[in-house]
Amino acid sequence: MTLATLRDVLQPALKDGYAVAGLVTLGWEDMRAYVAAAEAEGVPVILQAGPSCRAHTPLPVLGKMFRHLAEGASVPVVAHLDHGYTFEECKEALEAGFTSLMFDGSRKPLQQNIDETAAIAEMAHAAGISCEGEIGFVGYAGGETSAGTDPAEAAQFARDTGVDAMAISVGNVHLQQDKAGGLDEPRIRAIEALTDVPLVIHGGSGVPMAQRSSLARGSKICKFNIGTELRMAFGQALRAAVSADPAEFDRVTILKQTHDPVVDATRRVLAAFKGV
């Protein structure tokens, strides 16, 4: 069994100069492909259950799916709650067998975000698992606008919450389909100069591959969340499978055809985060 906590996989990444991918899951087909890709690349992987995933599948079921995959995997697998918005939701994930809780209080005033994140970090640590928090606000493509992370506030947040990883807003945007943008490296340098907590980039699909690689190897960014990029790969593979045989109606037969394309796309993502 290779079930791991977030701290288990991020502290070695911080020490040795690489990053770990937090892969946003929507169902069995993609999470299985993600683990297969991680095994092929020989790297750890973080399976993430975000709000849309949880709306489709209950947390207790997701916990069992993640843990089942971890038990059979040859690489470390983290069962991670992504964007938990309440204490109760985080507690439910902990009880469902998750090994990492990401509490998102980024829309709240600074002190409230610190206080609520600290309470969840305390709960997580008492259970022997990890906690990620967010300071600043990472916006959404076509939706809410980002608010960049203030380095001094990031240092205070890291110190007062005791989180194992800290998500920051440095030009990254959720749900971005292209890689035309890039991250604000001077802001990243200012933040990492004030804290030793591993940093996290949400909305990693919008970050150019070259910048992902350089920051994975040369900064305290130890986790990149990747969702949209792999959802697109799955969607394209599914569309091709359906179009290839309009008479085919069996969902298992159709969904099996997404596996190899998603594994290939995931391997390209994972390879970019490896150390030198």
Task: List the catalytic residues.
Answer: 82
Conformational region of residue 51, where left means phi above 0, alpha means psi within -120 to 50, and beta covers everything else? alpha
- What's the burial of 27, exposed, middle or buried (CB within 10 Å: 0-12/13-18/19+)? middle
Q: How far apart are alpha carbons 123 and 128 in whole angstroms? A: 9
Q: How far apart are alpha carbons 137 and 150 in whole angstroms? A: 10
Q: Are 82 and 48 in contact (CB under 8 A)?
A: yes
Question: Hey, what are 45's tokens?
Answer: 């992987």
Q: How far apart are alpha carbons 45 and 121 in whole angstroms? A: 21
Nearest by Cα to 79 from 58, 96, 56: 96
Nearest by Cα to 75 from 25, 38, 22: 38
Q: How far apart are alpha carbons 105 and 160 in whole angstroms? A: 14
Residue 140 per-residue DSSP state: B
CA-based Rg of the chain, rounded to a whole angstrom? 18
- Residues in Cβ contact with 83 at an 8 Å cutoff, skipping those fewer than 6 apart: 50, 51, 102, 104
Q: How far apart are alpha carbons 224 and 185 in whole angstroms? A: 15
